[in-house]
Amino acid sequence: MARVVELVDGFGRRITYMRVSVTDKCNLRCVYCMPEEGVKAKTHDEMLSMEEFARVVRVASALGISRVRITGGEPLARKGIVSLVRAVAAVPGIRDISMTTNATVLAPMADELARAGLNRVNISLDSLKSDTYARLTRRGDLASAIAGIHAAQRAGLRPIRLNAVVLRGINSDEIESLAALTLKHDWDVRFIEFMPFWGNGGLFGEEYVVPIGETRRRVLALGAQGPAASAQSQSGPASYLRLRGGLGQVGFISRDGDEFCGACNRIRLTADGMLRPCLLSEASIDVTAALRGGADDDAIADLIRLAVATKPESGKSRGADGGWEARPLSQIGG
């Protein structure tokens, strides 16, 4: 299948980025992502194999996908993850491979992942206090996550981006201390406005939301490096600024998709083989049956085109009850 110049949706957006969720399981139970009991276990046959993930990426690359992010759940919990990184890195046209991880088991794997072709990591780090981190993750060890961050840096996985979901009264008192990490390290720290997904088990509602404007004002009070320091990324969800003297950037991600939907360049592949054109849209295209039914690459390509064609203009898709998407965030791929 010959490589085309670009893959464009119905609103003129060029789609170049695929997020691949390799598992919906995780070794943590973050309160904003997954119920305390975890998610219902899927059988081995219900999940795509590493070879199937790699095949979809290869076909997507021929359509213009050049960036891949490997997500979960926790992707490092999936057996064979290094081999998948290596396979994706070997696909012609893939120029950037990243991973979203909680980093608690990253330390012993960072060098091997870098050698396989991983370029960079986004790491969930919601607190710098051991007790708060344990409360938010329900079982996590902060020291292990910090060790993973430093191992990623030593392995040359850059840029390192640390993502913090802000919850009022739980870790909202750490906004300044988290932002100050960029003064000591060349890491980016990104604050995420809490989205009350059904997947958090209903424990945290709107009263825990800290508006992103409030977070931004508190960071700005630390001293920004001039009025031109803030810039909206062209296709990602974050806007950035740099503190005066900062080595890294501070980013802000709003739950209001209209801030970045107009330039969104991504589609998603879930662990159970669903192509999702948007994080907050219920639309999905099943690719598993085609992969296992003898479909050729052109047929797989048609499904990817269909997913792109159904990509909504905005991410504000609501369920019948007016709430957010009902599938737990860990099963979508974040």
- Each residue's pLDDT tens digit, 271-314: 999 999 998 777 899 999 999 999 999 999 999 999 999 999 98
What is the residue range of 154's domain?
17-332
pTM of the model: 0.90
Residue 277 covered by a domain: yes
The CA distance from 34 to 200, in Å, is 5
Residue 197 covered by a domain: yes
pLDDT at residue number 56: 98
Residue 214 covered by a domain: yes
- Each residue's pLDDT tens digit, 115-165: 999 999 999 999 999 999 999 999 999 999 999 999 999 999 999 999 999
CATH number of the domain to which 156 belongs: 3.20.20.70
Please, what is the average pLDDT of the chain? 88
Residue 3 covered by a domain: no
The CA distance from 113 to 109, in Å, is 6
- Each residue's pLDDT tens digit, 98-120: 999 999 999 999 999 999 999 99
- 5 class by beta-carbon count within 10 Å (0-12 exposed, 13-18 middle, 19+ buried): exposed
Q: How many domains does the chain have?
A: 1
pLDDT of residue 325 exceeding 50, the answer is: no
Q: Confidence class of residue 40 from pLDDT cuts 50, 70 and 90?
A: confident
Residue 145 covered by a domain: yes
pLDDT of residue 206 exceeding 50, the answer is: yes
Residue 289 covered by a domain: yes
Residue 4 covered by a domain: no
Residue 6 covered by a domain: no
| Mean pLDDT (whole number) for 206-211 | 92
- Each residue's pLDDT tens digit, 235-280: 567 889 999 999 999 999 998 755 678 889 999 999 999 999 998 7
